[in-house]
Copies of this chain bind each other. A is one copy, B any other.
Amino acid sequence: MKIESVDFFYVSMPEILDIGDGSQDALLVRIRAGGFEGWGECEASPLTSIASYVAPMSHSACKPVKYSVEGKELNTAEDIQKISIAVHENSLDLLQADHTLSGIDIALYDLLGKKHNAPVYTLLGYKNAYPKLPYASQLFGDDAEETFNKAKKTKTTGYKAVKFGWGPFGKYGLAKDVAHLKAAREGMGPDAYIMIDAGTIFGEDFSIAKERLQALKEINAYWFEEPFFNGALNAYHQLSISEPRVPLAGGEGCNNYVQAQAMIEHSGVKFIQIDAGRIGGITVSKRVADLAVARNITYVNHTFTSHLALSASLQAYAGIENDIISEYPVELKKLAQEIAKEKILPDANGYISAPDRPGLGMTIDTIALKKYLVDVDIKVNGEKIYTTPEF
């Protein structure tokens, strides 16, 4: 079959708050072919990704993303890989292209899974989707007391693992950070996994990040995530060999395979965190997962948006039995909750799995989403090159 249509839907909460919550808007991609429909989601800045899809060509290596997608053949996973390679070649100088490709690649896998009546992870060669331990991913409280209360509530809800990140961390000095770390441990109790996410706050500054290691060790942090900008290999590496040793995690900012490869091979991280909505979709995520296995690095999904994005992020490492940790957003805005009718919920043992349904196993709630739809019109020299489509 051939790709018949590719449509982008920009949905948004009525008000976007200036907080580190990535579930406040979304860019959904709907692809149709051969009577089937697949859906994907791109991380971040919907308008910019829409523009990269429809922009006029600048030169041979700066074509709009649509050039490599529309009308193309789609029968096997190899066809999706071909499209991925084509986007990288034809949109080499279009920086945003990787984020846009991500949602497209996810939608193509969803569509192909539906056609073959098979979950996406089986198209990747996995036989099983092993259970993953979800960690309740959330923002730090504004002060240590609020962090304590959030941790306590998370424990009460039944989570065995929690991640606190962003918010005030790294902004108000060492003592405040230590207070937040201790509050997280006190609230969750001695046995829970606790992950800490610095949200790149220390830039490339190894020495300030190093000051936090002692407290991280004392609360037995399972990992210390993104102390630095993505790709700041030297700062990561220095911190990874500093005492006391705290395992590092990073990689969510990678927008292609070789960036993730550099993080795996040169940064000293023990956990490589991949967002299928940024790195180029499921195709590239799977390549990174294979490399992680070969290098004995633990693969973890990065997901802070909808359950559609969560399903997409789980596929690439669904079949890796040993990598059991999974990011699980628990503070989703209503919009992100309503994108898919199905939810990926923890089972009686507290574990989640990639859905055992065709494709990504999600039904998009187009009726619920109508109220969030953002109307966009882009005109170039009088010609309308994008207008928000109908659901």
Contact = CB atoms under 8 A, between A and B. Distances in A.
A282 to B, nearest CB: 18
A69 B25 CA distance: 23
B18 A57 contact: yes
Contacts of A55: 45-48
Interface residues of A, number: 70
Interface stretch (A30-38, A113-121, A151-159, A371-379): A371-379
A149 interface: no
Nearest to A378: B378
18 contacts: A16-B56, A21-B59, A44-B94, A45-B51, A45-B95, A46-B55, A47-B56, A47-B380, A48-B48, A48-B55, A61-B199, A88-B229, A89-B200, A92-B200, A95-B98, A231-B256, A375-B380, A377-B379
A43 interface: yes
Closest 4 CB pairs of A and B: A51-B51, A47-B55, A96-B96, A377-B379
A22 B375 CA distance: 32
Contact of A262 (B48, B52, B262): B262
A382 B375 CA distance: 7
A88 B96 CA distance: 15
Interface of A: 12, 16-22, 24-25, 43-48, 50-52, 54-62, 64, 85, 88-89, 92-96, 98-99, 166, 199-200, 203-204, 229-234, 253, 255-259, 261-262, 265-266, 278, 374-382
State the copy count for this chain. 2
Given A25-B58, A379-B376, A381-B375, A43 B93 contact: yes
B258 A204 contact: yes
Contacts of A262: 231, 233, 262, 266
Nearest to A43: B93
Nearest to A384: B377
Contact of A60 (B19, B56, B99): B19
Nearest to A255: B95
Contact of A258 (B93, B95, B233, B257): B233
Contacts of A44: 58, 62, 93-95
Given A47-B55, A60-B166, A95-B278, 5 more contacts: A18-B59, A22-B62, A47-B380, A233-B265, A376-B379
